[in-house]
A and B are shown apart, each in its own frame.
Chain A
């Protein structure tokens, strides 16, 4: 694709390519492959033959648009039609029909899937690539054991072991091990075949003598194997059924290497088995045994399973192909059954009668709905989407489990350079298991991660893509040492990577150099300016928190950035671009019309105030006006959190690093009222509330405005149909949908009957089951709609969705963060006259703790904020590629200070740069007018408001639901749960001797049922709260559980006078 004149240039690969390419591979290759694999189906008498004409399949264009699919809560999919031929040999009739096989979810232009109206993404999985791998592992006695594991593409794994006594064992899918000789014989090889096939026949012969003396023939071996695998003791005689049984268990399509799996042993063991032979052959086994023996004697190399050459990416293509294969297998079985039945009953057959669409439909539905790697797309902001699509996971089916994953797999491997980001991974239990694709990494057709480099050893520099296996054998100069050597290349030595080591070598010995200093990092990490000055842990948090940033009402470009903001915004698909050249003829908030040269027009619909998966608001703003001429690819509209086509998740804020009355203790953050009054950190959030209308035993639920059970005030927003009026402002407790559920009236209370008898009042025979605004929810109703689920299982399930938009200003308790992992919680909001101010009177907008910097080692924030200050005064924006220190020592510091100095001179603000304390300034307390004792670092930092907001977290409970069994309050805010008084809290109360409080906590306020009820009465009547005299419910539970173990627990009271015992039941 690279043009001749652009050979030396490079462009960043599209960030969403990994998703598209995967899906493209599936549509172009995988789909056809699987359809062609579909076997010819014949009945028992071979009279009827069914055949799919796989290469003539057709995919129908989806009937709805992507955006409509989200709106209507349906799946965005395409229907698959395949012609089929049915041949009846008796009357030589051939019928051909085009069949509907089911529908396949399609990838949208954003690289996602829409399943039932929910945007989902398939995360790429890193798995061990198929092939044979040798390693050394200690056995239970700590004696080293050499093993060769054959990992299949499809099916179980097979392991060869050689122990200290030179015995060779085989193990299938972690079952019991058995001698290799048995296996080889069982496979049908003769003694001669075996001994001639290996290089060390003596060892095998020796083995034979020691281990398997009595196994002579293939039949013996099969019986032995059978005994071993099925744990049968005693005499078993050979029969054909045993052979079949074993064949079914072990050989038949249970273990497929696949094309990739075939290449590996071919290379490793020097075989030349053709590549389309996707199963393991006996000669492979013999070669593998040879190699294993060689390794025992120190010949050959062990494999590093964490090396990326031994791991591959399972992408969308592989997942979908696998699911399609599964679905077609189901279909095959169903066709066989139908055919069998039809022939038995002598019914006529048609292709249409044989093929049903359910296998495909249900398989894909189940896959997208429940597969752990088909994930709910993180849509907090465009960056979050992008990062989610580029995520690599080692978890999931066929991968590792997070609990058993060792340190080695989680660690950064030298082969990650330029392929997987060493910084961005999740914190906690998934550390190192869920990683992110590096900027320049690409996945090749076989699923291996490639990275690009400049080849500088040849005469002409050009770009090469290197696979993980290749680049170890070249000397690759690293990005951060290059440029300084450009002038005098010959004599310079440079750092280079060679065979997983860093060497200092002469420049002419270097083969390749990296393209870009950020080549090694993921998008999230490469959006952090001055990344190289940050500790990796904080950089990790920084890249995490950028994707948690809430899109703001008035976003702003960062003053200091890395230059990648534009590409991230473009590739995320949140900005709208013109697809063709033309003139704008019409613009409004929801539509842009582009007129082409030939009087054709293209309408682009814009998204207005739609809910994202993470409840943030998606909105597109047109940024062009009528009459402008556009080129192809030019911006039409900005999306959420983008400005002028650049990612803008936050605002440039004037920050100061100083303590202020202890309000920024422990990472708390002090902000100015200006952030509220000028809507700087204001964001929109859209919440969806839903209610289902069901058909109960007593009848259909009714949506109505007339709800006698409720006060008319809470019903004030309902229209005549019982739905909330659009545009009304609702608050906690207001009814959104009025619903009445019919109730059985046979159990009517006697007073009801009396009422009816006397006054003729009809006591309500319905129960109200309205949808109300929950606690903490308030806002403007922007949409209310009926949704008819595709799911036919629940009959006539209708759902009403109500969308409520909230405008949230920043408030105490909200989380705010910069890009360097400097996060904090807003602790106080000060009026602007109280904030410390600069020497020109400008009040600071945010006060961060200076103690948050040294221990966290994220010095990048200081560089950023100072350069931001200079940029703010000079109206400049800086895009700085990290690792600028390769040009010069302390280049970042010099840049920042020189810019500040320039700004100070140009704008005649001498306080901007004072040589006595460069980068700091005297601040004045706004309350007293005193100068603070020390000069303070001030600057413009790019700060973001994160999705963790108090409004979603604040919670209190006086009483509420209890767990059914323990009778203790439930857990969590969503269930109106209580605050757990755990072990340590109990210790605290014990240590203070607060016995009454402790008792109250453990009984009245928790699981003592009777006492709980009595408290209420006592409070109402004003009497003292009764002391519980029995045990709480959880203790009774314990006693009951003990009883079920036949242990009884009781206690006795012995009276002092006559020593009489009185038994008490617990």
Chain B
């Protein structure tokens, strides 16, 4: 039905955002079309994207709150309409936006009487509030409300870990995922007497990221998942060479595939941000300062180079090397000379 509206390029895959609207501060909707796929491909991509959107996309949420003079969350404070537990539930719902993987600190410090909303949270610069009108509590008399918060980024949801908590400290079982819903539909059409497919992707997010950003993050997550197979092929081919050195017929083809593989990988590494190495704060910040954003950026450096960077100690280098090894099975060369 919408086919006619979109000019369909014949050869290469193209995408287009058909619709994007803010249905509210906390509801973004976006519809995208991708085409042309060969028959059956659209479904492969569609299912994978929907699942990645629902399951893999990360979000930011409040995971911890500390109140003063509160014994346990099942109590009420004089002058506040909600119980502590209700406030915790309200905090759980608050939508935040942040790029940082680190645990951030925030706080609420306010004097009543007034309605406390998400806008009243004092946030570090890297975190943004999406909907400042989200209700947290109602203070009905002139009393102060001081809450310390902790903000984390993760995917999926987390259930309570109450063991560590002390009095006045409460963990919130946070729901991180920013994707409200995702859907896809496939329509086929004919072009040059061949059946082609067009894939429509619909994404509803909670406003902390645009549907487009959600799509790109989901696809990045998907690529992360698939990268292992690229390596596998390479390793296998090497093994094969080792095993059947005499079998020359296979050799050229595999070497070509290795080449293609390498290229693909390089492209992929350009897409992978170093966030996904889940490096500790110090190393991460240093790399960011050095304008290292993607893995491919990082691969330009050697261990030796890294050590020379300010604030980048031996330990940090070790962590980077380890993370690369663990996630992408890449070994960062020790120094310039080792590259061959």
List residues of A whose CB falls within 8 A of some B CB.
553-554, 586-590, 608-609, 619, 621-622, 625-626, 673, 676-679, 684, 725-729, 731, 780-782, 805, 807, 809, 831-833, 837, 839-843, 926-929
Contacts and interface: CB of A to CB of B under 8 A. Distances in A.
Contacts of A781: 72
A553 B55 contact: no
A879 B270 CA distance: 58
A589 B157 contact: no
Contacts of B329: none
B198 to A, nearest CB: 16
18 contacts: A587-B81, A587-B138, A588-B80, A589-B82, A589-B83, A589-B86, A609-B83, A619-B83, A677-B156, A677-B173, A684-B74, A780-B72, A782-B74, A782-B75, A841-B50, A842-B181, A843-B54, A929-B50
A894 B173 CA distance: 44
Given A588-B81, A678-B175, A679-B89, A833 B76 contact: no
B140 interface: yes
A608 B163 contact: no
Interface in B42-87: 43, 46-47, 50-51, 54-55, 70-83, 86
A621 B82 CA distance: 8
A833 B86 contact: no
Interface string B109-120: 000010000000
Contacts of A839: 183, 185
A676 B156 CA distance: 12
A841 B183 contact: yes
Nearest to A590: B76
A841 B182 contact: yes
Contacts of A926: 50-51
Interface in B181-208: 181-185, 202
A679 B157 CA distance: 11
A841 B55 contact: no
B83 A676 contact: no
Contact of B89 (A553, A626, A728): A553
A837 B55 CA distance: 14
Contacts of A831: 54-55
B77 A588 contact: yes
6 nearest A-B pairs in the assembled complex, by CB-CB distance? A841-B183, A589-B76, A929-B47, A727-B72, A677-B157, A833-B54
Contacts of A809: 159
B313 to A, nearest CB: 37
B78 to A, nearest CB: 6
Given A589-B81, A929-B50, 9 more contacts: A588-B77, A588-B78, A589-B80, A622-B81, A679-B92, A679-B173, A729-B162, A831-B55, A841-B183
A783 to B, nearest CB: 9
A832 B83 contact: no
B255 interface: no
B183 A608 contact: no
B167 interface: yes
Nearest to A781: B72
Contacts of A731: 163
B165 interface: yes
B74 A729 contact: no
Contacts of B250: none
A671 to B, nearest CB: 14
B75 A929 contact: no
Contacts of B257: none
Contacts of B73: 780
B76 A805 contact: no
Contact of B75 (A609, A728, A841, A842): A609
Given A676-B157, A805-B74, A608 B83 contact: yes
A736 to B, nearest CB: 15
Contact of B140 (A626, A673, A807): A626
A725 B166 CA distance: 11
A678 B74 CA distance: 19
B87 to A, nearest CB: 10
A727 B67 CA distance: 13
Contacts of B79: 588
Contacts of B311: none
B141 interface: yes
B140 A586 contact: yes
Contact of B54 (A678, A725, A807, A832): A832
Contact of A833 (B46, B55, B138): B55
Interface of B: 43, 46-47, 50-51, 54-55, 70-83, 86, 89, 92, 113, 138, 140-141, 156-157, 159-160, 162-163, 165, 167-168, 173, 175, 181-185, 202
Nearest to A803: B74
Nearest to B181: A841
Contact of B141 (A586, A609, A843, A927): A586
A609 B78 CA distance: 15
Contacts of B72: 726-727, 780-782, 805
Contacts of B77: 588-589
Nearest to A840: B183
Nearest to B169: A727
Contact of A608 (B47, B76, B202): B76
Nearest to B82: A589
A780 B51 CA distance: 37
Contacts of B181: 840-843
Contact of B138 (A553, A625, A841): A625
Nearest to A779: B162
B51 A833 contact: yes
Contacts of B46: 929
Nearest to B42: A929
A684 B78 CA distance: 22
A728 B74 contact: no
A8 B18 CA distance: 60
Given A780-B73, A781-B72, A728 B167 contact: yes
Contacts of B54: 831-833, 843
Contacts of A619: 83
A676 to B, nearest CB: 7
Most buried by B among A625, A677, A805: A677
A837 B183 contact: yes
A679 B92 CA distance: 11
A676 B46 CA distance: 27
Given A554-B89, A588-B80, A609 B74 contact: yes
B74 A621 contact: no
A731 B164 CA distance: 12
Nearest to A625: B138
Given A589-B76, A780-B74, A929 B43 contact: yes
A462 B134 CA distance: 53
B141 to A, nearest CB: 7
Nearest to B72: A727
Contact of A727 (B86, B167, B185): B167
Nearest to B177: A677
B147 to A, nearest CB: 16
Contacts of A554: 89
Contacts of B83: 589, 608-609, 619
Contacts of B165: 729
A586 B182 CA distance: 45
Contacts of A608: 74-76, 83
Nearest to A554: B89
Contacts of A588: 76-81, 140-141
Nearest to A624: B81
Nearest to A841: B183
A841 B202 contact: yes
A727 B159 CA distance: 19
A175 B251 CA distance: 110
A726 to B, nearest CB: 5
A801 to B, nearest CB: 16
Contacts of B157: 673, 676-677
A528 to B, nearest CB: 30
A729 B163 contact: yes
Contacts of A590: 76, 78
Nearest to A584: B140
Contacts of A837: 183
